[in-house]
Amino acid sequence: MLVREKDMDFIKSIDNGEFEVWYQPQINMLNEKICGAEALVRWKEKNGNLISPSEFIPDFEKDGRIIELDHLVLCRVCEDIRSARKENRKFGPISVNLSKRNAERKDTEKKIHDIIARYGIGTSDLLFEITESASDLSDGDQTELLVRRLRELGFLISMDDYGTGSSTLKSLADISFDRLKIDRSFISCIGNRRTDIILKSTIHMAKQLRAGIVAEGVETEKQVKFLKENGCYIAQGYYYYKPLPKEEYLCTCSCCLDNENRGEEV
Ligand code: C2E
Ligand code: CA
Ligand code: CA
């Protein structure tokens, strides 16, 4: 399909309200309470067909539509935080995925700043996840600059899919991330001798760097036990919750959001 046609279809899908934002809770495993959530986009076509992000995000990354989509998701998240606040309901700090392609635009920080100001949202209500595995898409210096500017604005930044990129250690050396989010591919191999060694030293290294650490894709009790024993206390995964539509997430939050820990590192 031509890029222009794709753009037209994309705009039509936005206008039709086909993009939804779901929330996957993140758990403080020390007290089993929710300490935040990740916002995950869902594309629900008019006929009700649900398209998973893995089917369209790579394409959107390639042609740049991801930038508009990320801003749309951020607006939705801000709107959801604001409406929950109005109703005095708990919501928790929300992690929003930000494609590295945003680093190519000089006005990204301004746009983000304008969006949160429009909705009256504070920087502590949000966290940005930037994936390191997409590093080939954009220049490392641009990403470093974007992370630095967003941190200057007061946002916490998480390195997403930690361990899967071709230059993980280089990115870590060059860029100050507040959190490392260990990719599911490592968590699913817990129990494998080599993976266990890598995970233990990653958790230790994160602590030395004063970065928080989050385990993604936690599915079993054995994984929970290993992570807790080795000092990683924030988890996201099907063992606890799958991504939930907003209302379901709100109901879940109202009974088990951890007020003591507003997503700060444990
Ligand atoms: P991600 O950022 O690594 O997000 C985590 C993915 O793992 C989500 O898939 C989530 O549903 C899935 N997941 C979480 N826990 C488990 C588990 O225990 N087991 C298994 N098997 N899967 C689990 P999802 O929602 O399909 O998203 C896929 C990817 O699409 C995300 O990976 C992210 O890279 C991208 N994505 C989603 N929403 C956005 C967005 O708004 N902006 C951008 N730029 N990317 C997004
Ligand atoms: Ca993510
Ligand atoms: Ca991942």
What pLDDT was estimated at residue 129?
A: 97
Enter the tokens of residue 182.
């260990």
What pLDDT was estimated at residue 90?
A: 86
Which DSSP category does 49 fall into?
P
What pLDDT was estimated at residue 257?
A: 64
Residues of the chain with pLDDT under 70: 1-4, 6, 132-140, 256-266
The residues lining ligand 1, judged by C-beta closer than 6 Å to any ligand atom, are 24, 40-41, 52-54, 57, 66, 70, 73, 97, 99, 131, 160-161, 184, 216-219, 236-238, 243
How many whole angstroms separate alpha carbon 57 and alpha carbon 36?
A: 23
Asked whether 45 and 55 are in contact (CB, 8 A), the reply is: no
Q: Which of 22, 27, 40, 129 to mutate to test the pocket of ligand 1 (most atoms within 8 A of CB)?
A: 40
Which DSSP category does 211 fall into?
-
- 87 burial (CB, 10 Å; 0-12 / 13-18 / 19+) is exposed
77-86 residue pLDDT tens: 999 999 999 9
What pLDDT was estimated at residue 14?
A: 86
Distance 29 CA to ligand 1 centre (A): 20
28-51 residue pLDDT tens: 999 999 999 999 999 998 888 889
Residue 49, Cα to own-chain centre: how many angstroms? 24
190-222 residue pLDDT tens: 999 999 999 999 999 999 999 999 999 999 999
What pLDDT was estimated at residue 192?
A: 98
Asked whether 154 and 136 are in contact (CB, 8 A), the reply is: no
